[in-house]
């Protein structure tokens, strides 16, 4: 019979799997507690970095319906449970792994599918949601300004043409046409 604390741990990990939009599995062998704390801070509030026994994580993943990750749970393994936008957390993990060679990205899980290391890195290379929305807003703002300029162009061209014609007539010695007198 399983110990109550292990049953509780499996239930908590399974709940984390269920509540996450994505997970990233890493190997942390050789990282100090201080470095792991630094990584947790870099991940921000939307992600939880958890170290747990591989057997408990396998059981929890199965309970949560997460498949395809069993081969990643070998050696010292930690899982980043990401709630919300996965891009920022993936960027933080990739950057931390670049600066600390002891952290190794093993893979991940998102949208019901196991992710390879390359796929996790591609997610990290994406622009964040906020950046994409800002780019979209800029594109929408630019289009009306371009349209207004296009619609104003014929009127301003006619005005410039009339001014040039007036200047040409004046320079040729001819007086500009008299304006009609105001009716009294």
Query: CA-CA distance, 67 to 113, in Å (whole number)?
Result: 8
Comparing 175 with 152, the larger pLDDT belongs to 152
Q: What is the pLDDT of residues 97-136, one digit of tens each?
A: 999 888 889 999 998 888 888 888 888 887 777 776 777 7
Q: What is the pLDDT of residues 77-100, one digit of tens each?
A: 899 999 988 888 888 899 889 998
Helical packing angle, 33-43 and 86-99, nearest 10°: 150
The CATH class for the domain spanning 4-126 reads alpha beta
Band of residue 154 on the pLDDT scale cut at 50, 70, 90: confident
Strands, sheet with 22-27, edge to edge from the N-terminal-most edge strand:
47-51, 77-82, 22-27, 104-110, 113-115
Residue ranges of domains in the chain: 4-126, 129-172
């Amino acid at each position: 019979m399983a110990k109550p604390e292990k049953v509780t741990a499996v239930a908590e990990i399974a709940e984390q799997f269920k509540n996450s939009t994505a997970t990233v599995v890493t190997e942390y062998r050789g990282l100090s507690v201080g470095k792991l704390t630094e990584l947790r801070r870099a991940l921000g509030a939307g992600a939880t970095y958890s170290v747990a026994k591989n057997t408990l994580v396998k059981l929890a993943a199965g309970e949560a319906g997460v498949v395809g990750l069993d081969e990643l749970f070998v050696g010292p393994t930690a899982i980043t449970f990401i709630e919300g936008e996965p891009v920022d957390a993936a960027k933080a993990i990739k950057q931390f792994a670049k600066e600390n060679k002891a952290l190794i990205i093993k893979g991940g899980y998102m949208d019901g599918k196991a992710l390879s290391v390359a796929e996790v890195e591609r997610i990290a290379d994406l622009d964040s949601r906020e950046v994409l929305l800002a780019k979209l807003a800029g594109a929408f703002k630019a289009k009306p300004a371009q349209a207004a300029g296009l619609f104003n162009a014929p009127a301003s061209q006619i005005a410039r043409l009339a001014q040039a014609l007036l200047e040409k007539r004046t320079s040729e010695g001819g007086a500009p046409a008299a304006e009609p007198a105001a009716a009294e």
